[in-house]
Amino acid sequence: MRRRWTAIAAPVLLSGVLSAGPATAQDAPQCLPRTSAPAAGLVPVSSTPVDSRTTLYTFRSAAVGDIAPDGLVRVRVTLPSGYETGTARYPVLMHLHGANNSPTTWPAAEVEQVIGDTPVIVVQPEGGPGGFYSDWYGTPVSGSDPLNGPVPFPPPAWETFHLRELLPWVDATFRTTGHRAVAGSSMGGFGAMSYAARNPGVFDAAAALSGAVNIDGLSGTVPVILDAADPCIWGDRTAQAANWAAHNPTDLADRLRGTSLYVSAGDGLPGVHDDASTEARFAALEVLIRHLTDDFVAALHPHDVPVTTEFHHGTHPGPDDLNRFYDFDALRAFLPQAMAAMGTTP
């Protein structure tokens, strides 16, 4: 059944999910390549309590520059129960959001419900509408792209922001143990596995929740989609093929040895968190995601890299729909594995 759905998934994605037409290396907008390594420098601007456990912070980041209209990037931090009255140190879970989402897409109360009494600090940083958790290759000559809108020059460096700016700030600001896990939804699932593979030893565990973990997948369909939406993240698909591969979790599978891995994906068929309001595009998207997840898992096997897999009936989690609870279920299931990898009992 899942294979039959593939014929439906690709055209639906191309026409609906990203709202952009197909592109090739020949007709993709020309990029202005980055001319120097990304700068790093984080300046805290504000902190706004959301509730007793959660605070929303804003920063000016040298790495991402003026990608946001107000020049600020946002990070939400949820502290474990009892943090304010104790002296214990805690591991950190970085959670990366999906495309067209933000650090506040999941209501704070729902995040706290999923985490429960797990002794972990949850950091949810901004990653752009379609930043794909990468230091971008360049800026479109037009100054914008279909998914992100205006893109400054030099282009944003999301990986530098998250790993070289934000993580040191987290360790300097909160009582941390130095152990970390990373998890992400959809685009964030790509980010979680890419960050873990590109930076061995930084994260003890990584999870892709319905994650786009093979950007070269489905016989070239995925690069076409990404070229249409974000033409300058990794550069031209042919001329900068090495840069694409250097960010693709499936190509980097051997670098994940020693990291505790978890992946989850649905099959596009209605599941426990779907109802009549579920949009067809979320079913089609999850079919594609399952194929990409299968590619990733298959790439791990030759390198003897273990991975926990959780496959289920269900569609792609949307930010405002009932099906967002697939992500909640998966994150809740990943937590004990992550905590064990970080040397802490949940």
Place of tokens 């670098």: 255
69 band by pLDDT with thresholds 50, 70 and 90:
confident
pLDDT band at 325 (very low <50, low <70, confident <90, very high): confident
Residue 154, preceding peptide bond in cis (omega within 30° of 0): yes
CATH architecture of 2-341: 3-Layer(aba) Sandwich (3.40)
Residue 289 has pLDDT above 50, yes or no: yes
Cα separation values, 301 from 104, 212, 254, Å: 36, 18, 9
Buried b / exposed e over 200-225, threshold 16 CB at 10 Å, is: eeebbbbbbbbbbbbbbbbeebbbbb
pLDDT: which is higher, 321 or 166: 166
Tokens of 105: 């897409």
pLDDT value for 322: 65
Reply yes or no on whether the pLDDT at 307 is more than 90. Answer: yes
Q: What is the pLDDT of residues 108-126, one digit of tens each?
A: 999 999 999 999 999 999 9
The domains of the chain are located at 2-341
Higher pLDDT, 325 or 79: 79
At residue 308, the pLDDT reads 99
Tell me if the pTM is above 0.85.
Answer: yes
The three-point CA angle 208-212-213 to 5° equals 70
- Per-residue model confidence as pLDDT tens digits over 22-32: 333 333 458 99
The token pair at 98 is: 């999906």
> Which whole-number Å values give the CA distances from 342 to 76, 132, 345, in the listed order?
21, 26, 9
Q: Whole-angstrom Cα distance, residue 136 to residue 52? A: 36
Strand stretches in the chain, DSSP E = 31-33, 42-49, 54-61, 73-78, 90-96, 121-125, 138-140, 144-145, 149-150, 176-185, 205-209, 260-266, 308-312
What mean pLDDT is predicted for residues 273-294? 89
Is the pLDDT at 128 greater than 60? The verdict is yes
The pLDDT assigned to 222 comes to 77
User: Can you tell me the distance from the alpha carbon of 155 to that of 21, in angstroms, rounded to the nearest whole number?
Assistant: 23
